[in-house]
Amino acid sequence: MATIYVDNKPYEVKPGQSLLSACLGLGLNLPYFCWHPALGSVGACRQCAIKQFKDENDTRGRLVMACMTPVAEKVRISIEDKEAVDFRAGVIEGLMQSHPHDCPVCDEGGECHLQDMTVMTGHIYRQYEYTKRTFHNQYLGPFVNHEMNRCIQCYRCVRYYREYAGESDLNSFLMRNQVFFGRSQDGVLQSEFAGNLVEICPTGVFTDKTLKQHYTRKWDLQMAPSICVHCGLGCNTTAGERYGTVRRIVNRYNGDVNGYFLCDRGRFGYEFVNRKERIRQPLQRKNGSLEAISAEQAQEHLKSLVATGNKVIGIGSPRASLEANFALRTAVGAVRFFSGVSEADARLASLILDVLRKGPARTPSLTDMEMADAVLVLGEDVMNVAPRAALALRQSTRQAPMEIARKKGIADWQDDAVREAVQEEKGPLYIATPNATRLDGIAKETFRAAPDDIARLGFAVANAIDPAAPAPPGLPSAVADLAARIAQTLKGAQRPLVVCGAGCRSEAVIQAAANVAAALAKSNQGVALSFAAPECNTMGLAMMGGAPLEAAFQAVRDGNADTVIVLENDLYRRADSKPVDEFLKGAKHVVALDYLPNSTTGQAELILPAGSFAEADGTFVNSEGRAQRFFQVFLPQDPILESWRWLRAAGQGDSAAWKNLDNVLDAMAQSLPAFKRVPEAAPESGFRISGAKVPREPHRYSGRTAMLANISVSEPKPPEDQDSPLSFTMEGNPNEPPSALIPFFWAPGWNSIQSTNKFQSEIAGPLKGGNPGVRLIEPAAGSAPSYFTAAPEGFHAKHGEWLTVPLYHIFGSEELSNWAPAVRELAPGPYAALSPEEAAALGVIEGQIIQIAANGSQFQLPLKVAKELPKGVVGLPVGLPDFRGPLMPAWVSISRAI
């Protein structure tokens, strides 16, 4: 630690940071614009000017930029020095020259960093008396709105977009007081992380276009800590509601998970909650048509179905919370609980779980992934399956070259100087996938092959690291050479990382990744092994267990089950239509709990309106194995209930006595040892700060007495939240809630998301009291590495048959976000992808319809020529809203459609 003196007061701060970061970390108010904790310092805006003194006898001092000056022992600075104060006011005055002062009609108003900093510096009177510069705004796609006249030229947007997120279609043009930040022409922003511009921009140039559809000021939002439901990474989010609709999602900082950034699917997928198609009433199918029934009738019906001696089974879901799955499991009994995924998916998930539990490699947090200095991606299209992890991997490629700058004495946070010294140098990232990925541009080498060949590469890498690991037979020398290069790089790294997942639908690929990690672990305890999980609770469900869907199908077929309760799950996305049809039609009674109608609810006799993430509390286990709690954002007007509340009524055992979420969590922790620590993920419902709950609403929340006045002039009693220590009003104690309970980031004078600074124990470090979440999976201590021995044979293209490989789309492959209009707009249509050679051999060109026959089903799809796809495979998109292909992997035949 170093002692610094700020306005003559000594403080202990961590060396290796800028004075700005140190001052903010101390809780001191020092205004800034161009600096961002994730982007480092560039010294552009000059807003953080302070006085620096040589020693205690120096009374004159000189102005320096806090962001560009390193912390050093005994450094003496002043924030309050008059010259510094005046200069900072001058900078704001300068920044504001052309700002339109349109706060009342600006979406950023009320959470605007420019407003906050202007108030902080005390600039109040506009002296600049000339015309302002103006710009044309651009169409940037369905997510982000552009209003350039508000720009103050801090350059954060382009630095984030180009340098951090690595996309080049947003740029700075022109010069002087007229720099334009935008694209060369109108068009959809290409980055999958463009939505972060909304938070990166300190004012209202880039704002959330989906929020604009139903705009509400931040202070008028009721907010709660939430977890993203659109992939398995479990990014922490803050969801905001007003008048019963979710208005927007913003990032919720978690130093171990998403840090400052979300992907666009996570930020903009929320609109599924607001769809008019939502199931808002319990529905009962009578004589073929659905009728709305009351909640009580629904409860009674469910109870009677369970109680009348029917043979009930429950189908769980990887997109439902642990609590919901556990309630179903409790209601039907452990042996009658099925996991809700196909046997193939379940096998992959449990293999992943076994590998992680056995060790020796540890699953990394996203922050750990960012810090990796050599990465092997085996089989997974990270950008499209677990997008935020792709952003982390992009940062990982900065780690190794950082040494170049360090050798020159450049501090890590000196962003421009570091990038200048490092240039295009990238740390090692090897990507082995069936098709091209969006990370290829920063990869050292890429390898395109069918899943079995990808697995063989992995086995070969493991073997090259540790000869005791089994070698794949008959490897071509080019692949063996590549494996040797990868092995050497990984072996030489301090924090090597292997990234894999179920994306190839191949156990061999997962085993190969496990072998690589195990081989590395022999000489390096720091090795990390990450498996992407496709859904928000894939991992939690795998840990809970339960037989796969095929077993449930069999149970109905065998007459061992006649009543099926399906929890938040569209089975048609899990298995081929035919067996699902047979299953649902074969069962006497089908109950479905869900938020939105789908083919499964279409077969149900009783449909129960389940609370989405916004209307329920619960816990997800992310791909890291971290249990994270999400909290109800608002209480729905309609009889929508948390799935566990519907299901507790059906239970014959303990569950009927569950009063609140704590009871569910305790029961689960007791009956399932794997979930023993889940209750620790957040404080229990009885937690209070000085006797008060934590308010979901900011203290400026308006309209409380008026918002329902059209219904009744008496203000209704605010609803009680039995499940959490959060209140549904602005009453309560907002001061420093435990990190898992932070409903929104706000601090006096800091209305924008930049107030995150005030909640961290150090800038860009953990939240005060530790980052939320509990890691449930740690590798068994001292376990000796053991290897999977069954390296597959090389892939052989068959004549007249093609192996399907799944292709993923950030916008399009995930079920819930497809209901969000903005996401849907960017989803591709159905297609089949072939390599150029094979397309030519079939005599078809891009866009032409080809016919695919698989397992008795026929699909007519337009051809997409995929330059890098290997021969002998056909790529088919996964999960698109309008297309349900064959279950993969499968061998199919292809012909030109007539």
Number of H helices, E strands in the chain: 25, 35
Binding site for another protein (CB under 8 A): 42-47, 49, 62-64, 68, 87, 90-91, 93-95, 97, 127-128, 130, 152-153, 155, 172, 174-179, 404-405, 408-410, 414, 416-417, 420-423
Contact by Cβ (8 Å): 483, 461? yes
**Burial class of residue 568, CB neighbours in 10 A (0-12, 13-18, 19+):** buried
Residue 227 CB, shortest distance to another protein, in Å, is 39
Residue 151 CB, shortest distance to another protein, in Å, is 11
Q: Which is nearer to another protein, 134 or 789 (CB)?
A: 134
Residue 249 CB, shortest distance to another protein, in Å, is 32
Residue 50 CB, shortest distance to another protein, in Å, is 12
Contact by Cβ (8 Å): 612, 271? no
Sequential DSSP letters for 608-660: EEB--TTT--EEEE-TTSEEEEE------SSS-B-HHHHHHHH-SSGGGG--S
Residue 35 CB, shortest distance to another protein, in Å, is 13
> 3-state class of 806 per DSSP?
strand
Residue 317 CB, shortest distance to another protein, in Å, is 50
Q: Which is nearer to another protein, 137 or 171 (CB)?
A: 171
Q: Which is nearer to another protein, 405 or 469 (CB)?
A: 405
Residue 115 CB, shortest distance to another protein, in Å, is 17
Q: Which is nearer to another protein, 127 or 714 (CB)?
A: 127
Eight-class DSSP state of 135: -
Residue 145 CB, shortest distance to another protein, in Å, is 23
501 closest CA partner among 664, 370, 356, 689: 356
Residue 108 CB, shortest distance to another protein, in Å, is 19
Residue 114 CB, shortest distance to another protein, in Å, is 12
Residue 121 CB, shortest distance to another protein, in Å, is 12
Q: How far apart are CA 577 and CA 597, in angstroms?
A: 17
Residue 600 CB, shortest distance to another protein, in Å, is 54
Sequential DSSP letters for 121-134: HT-------SPPP-
β pairing state of 563-567 and 589-594: parallel
Q: Which is nearer to another protein, 97 or 350 (CB)?
A: 97
Q: Which is nearer to another protein, 419 or 574 (CB)?
A: 419
Strand partners, 803: 873, 891
Q: What is the CA radius of gyration of the chain?
A: 28
β pairing state of 206-208 and 222-227: unpaired
Distance of CA 64 to the CA centre of its chain: 39
> 3-state class of 895 per DSSP?
strand
Q: Which is nearer to another protein, 420 or 720 (CB)?
A: 420
Residue 416 CB, shortest distance to another protein, in Å, is 6
Q: Which is nearer to another protein, 78 or 530 (CB)?
A: 78
Helices 661-671 & 643-650 angle (0-180, nearest 10): 70
Peptide bond into 360 cis (omega under 30): yes
Q: How far apart are CA 813 and CA 827, in angstroms?
A: 8
Sequential DSSP letters for 43-74: --S-TTEEEEESSTT--S-EEEEGGGSB--TT
Q: Which is nearer to another protein, 95 or 383 (CB)?
A: 95
Residue 167 CB, shortest distance to another protein, in Å, is 17
Residue 79 CB, shortest distance to another protein, in Å, is 16
Tell me, letter by letter, the H, E, C secondary structure of 176-227.
Answer: HHHCEEECCCCCCCCCCCHHHHHHHCCCCCEEEHHHHCCCCCHHHCEEEEEE
338 closest CA partner among 22, 554, 24: 554
Q: Which is nearer to another protein, 405 or 606 (CB)?
A: 405
Q: How far apart are CA 722 and CA 737, in angstroms?
A: 18
Order of strands, sheet of 62-65, starting from the edge strand that comes earlier in the sequence: 9-13, 2-6, 76-78, 49-53, 62-65
Question: Which whole-number Å values give the CA distances from 225 to 14, 783, 867, in the listed order?
Answer: 30, 37, 43
Q: How far apart are CA 457 and CA 804, in angstroms?
A: 20
Strand partners, 606: 284, 591
Spell out the alpha helix ranges (H) of 216-272.
264-268
Residue 46 CB, shortest distance to another protein, in Å, is 5
Name residue 181's amino acid. Answer: F
Q: Which is nearer to another protein, 94 or 333 (CB)?
A: 94
Residue 154 CB, shortest distance to another protein, in Å, is 9
Q: Which is nearer to another protein, 47 or 755 (CB)?
A: 47
Q: Which is nearer to another protein, 70 or 718 (CB)?
A: 70
Q: Which is nearer to another protein, 410 or 596 (CB)?
A: 410
Q: Which is nearer to another protein, 153 or 724 (CB)?
A: 153
β pairing state of 289-292 and 206-208: unpaired
> 3-state class of 116 per DSSP?
helix
Q: Which is nearer to another protein, 34 or 461 (CB)?
A: 34
Q: Which is nearer to another protein, 424 or 558 (CB)?
A: 424
Is the Cα torsion angle 399, 404, 407, 413 positive or negative in sign? negative
Q: Which is nearer to another protein, 172 or 652 (CB)?
A: 172
Residue 178 CB, shortest distance to another protein, in Å, is 7
Beta strands in 696-775 (DSSP E): 726-727, 774-775
Question: Which whole-number Å values give the CA distances from 536 to 393, 571, 628, 681, in the listed order?
Answer: 20, 17, 10, 16
Tokens linked to 639: 């009889």
